Amino acid sequence: MSSDSCAPPPLLLPPRSDRLPLIREAFRLEWLTIGWMTVEALVAIAAGVTAGSLVLIAFGLDSVIELASASVLMWRLSIELRHGQQFSERAERTASRIGGALLLLLAAYVTTAALWHL
């Protein structure tokens, strides 16, 4: 049995009290963003498929990417609320990587679709 197993768990510090109203406001704004992006994605993708427009479909997929990014941000903020700022910084790095991967995915789709249509 290692000496690490006897170590106390890391101290979980709640978010600073001056950040709580800001985090609540961020959640409110993200819910508005999710609502708007859902409508935008559905309308753009439906219009793009109907019109056969790569640009409209890409715009709709961009909205889906923004939806995923908003979900990642909500996850990251909930980590800070539950576990404090120490875990929030690790979640921030993870969220940044996920957001970057989502944007690369969108770029790959647009590039592939454009080449296919050429």
- The whole-model pTM stands at 0.67
In total, how many domains does the chain have? 1
**CA neighbours closer than 13 Å in the CB half-sphere of residue 46:** 6
Measured CA distances, 96 to 52, 63, 65, 99, 108 (Å): 33, 18, 13, 5, 18
Q: Which domain, by its residues, includes 53?
A: 18-117
Over residues 27-48, the pLDDT tens digits come to 899 999 999 999 999 999 999 9
pLDDT of 2: 47
* 11 assigned to some structural domain: no
* 51 assigned to some structural domain: yes
